[in-house]
Amino acid sequence: MDPLELLITNDFLRVLDLVGVFVMGVAAGALASRLNFDAVGFAVIGVVAGLGGGLVRDVILDYGTPAAFDGPWYLACALSGAAFSYLIHADGAWWRRAVTGLDIAAMGLWAAVGTAKSHGYGLDPLPAILLGVTSAVGGGVIRDVLVGRIPAIFGGGPLYATGALVTAVGTWIVVALGIPSPWVLVAVAAGSLLALVAAWRRWTLPAHREWQVTMSSSQLKALVRRTRRSERERVAAETGAIPVVDLTADDLAEDVLSEDPTTGDCAQRAFEDEQPPADPGDEEGAGAAPTTP
């Protein structure tokens, strides 16, 4: 039995898969409730959230009838989850924890199934892993886009996509290297555990501005001067000649005399390409006095 067959035929994993679809429908229904959707909105967003990732994967793979439509169970679970949120307002810390835990467990399973199926269709490692992650988080992304908000996996939320990536990479290793099939469950557990701990501890990936390097005007000027001084020393060491700074002809000498007030002025002077000379005709036209008839 290969890993994909284990993932889609094992009764326990099959039930977990369907429970995950139901839970995604419930979570999407809760969002629809906050946005005051009607019954049609609940149904659409529940189906999209629960089945969207698998549908995208199967369409890309040209799988034929997508797995979500191969039988009534997947659609029934997604619609049932949305209907549950439509009819029952469930809230509380214990309920949110249960939904999060089941959602993460199903996410790991979906990432493994997507990766194994993609590898079986002959995809290279990177596309196979990407489709595995898409299978896990694609439904949530489409759900967020439909309601007009930035997808949660793009930052500030639990590490769902990171956990799915860990599972996808582990699954590809198991499938590609022919490791015994039960080891794929270790990959599922590893990615799910990472996402679960991240949700518990509120871990997030660093945002762009948390690691972006910024420089003041004085720091940029000092960097430019050090760089150019090092270049002069390198040329002098290689040629044995002492570089002479001609303040009337050497543009590098401007570093010594310039007093740029801002970083932009320093960068423009130091790195801007030479501008093409102005057209003499333009200067004459600009300087000519207007004539009257």
- Give the number of other Cβ atoms within 10 Å of residue 83's Cβ: 17
**Interval 242-265 mean pLDDT:** 56
Q: How far, in Å, CA of 104 to CA of 23, rounded? A: 10
Dihedrals phi, psi of 84, to nearest 5 degrees: -60, -45
How far, CA to CA in Å, does 106 sit from each of 128, 160, 213, 248, 262?
Answer: 19, 11, 38, 71, 53
- CA–CA distance, 239 with 230 (Å, rounded to integer): 14
Sorted by sequence, the CB contacts under 8 Å of residue 16 that are 6+ apart come out as: 105, 106, 109
135/233: higher pLDDT: 135
Residue 223's pLDDT is: 79
Of residues 21, 155, 116, the one with CA closest to residue 77: 21
Give residue-wise pLDDT tens across range 81-115: 999 999 988 777 888 888 888 889 899 999 999 99
Structure confidence by residue, pLDDT tens digits, 197-235: 998 888 888 776 656 667 776 777 777 777 877 877 777
Q: Please say whether the beta carbons of 133 and 164 come within 8 A.
A: yes
Q: Which residue has the higher pLDDT, 263 or 232?
A: 232
Helix 160-176 vs helix 125-146: crossing angle, to nearest 10: 150
Burial class for 201, CB neighbours closer than 10 Å (0-12, 13-18, 19+): exposed
Q: Which two tokens stand for residue 5?
A: 């067959």
What pTM was estimated for this model as a whole?
0.70
